[in-house]
Structure formats: structure tokens, C-alpha cells
């Protein structure tokens, strides 16, 4: 689902930028999910 949503951005970003972006995105997403479940 996430890959499909952001697939359009992949050609714009270089491989390194894409990896950093996805890593940061996933980390923020995991934190948000953890906070939601802990409430």
C-alpha cells in the first residue's frame, strides 16, 4: 500500500535519497503506530 502510494516519487529521488526518505518515513510511521496502540 505504501509502495503504491509513493511509487510516483521514486523516479524523482536518487537511490540514496529514496532509501533515507523511506527509512525516516517508516520510523515516523512506526512511532505513530506505537503511540496509537499505547494510548
Q: What is the pLDDT of residue 1?
A: 47
Distance between first and last Cα of the chain: 25
The residues spanned by each domain of the chain are 10-38
pLDDT attached to residue 28: 92
For residues 37 and 26, give the distance between their C-alpha atoms in angstroms, rounded to a whole number: 16
Mind listing the pLDDT tens digit for each residue in 1-39?
455 555 565 565 577 777 888 889 889 999 998 999 887
Distance CA 21, CA 6 (A): 11
Amino acid at each position: 500500500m505504501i509502495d503504491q502510494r509513493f511509487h510516483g516519487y521514486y523516479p524523482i529521488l536518487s537511490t540514496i535519497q529514496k532509501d533515507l526518505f523511506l527509512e525516516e518515513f517508516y520510523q515516523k510511521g512506526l512511532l505513530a503506530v506505537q503511540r496509537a496502540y499505547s494510548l
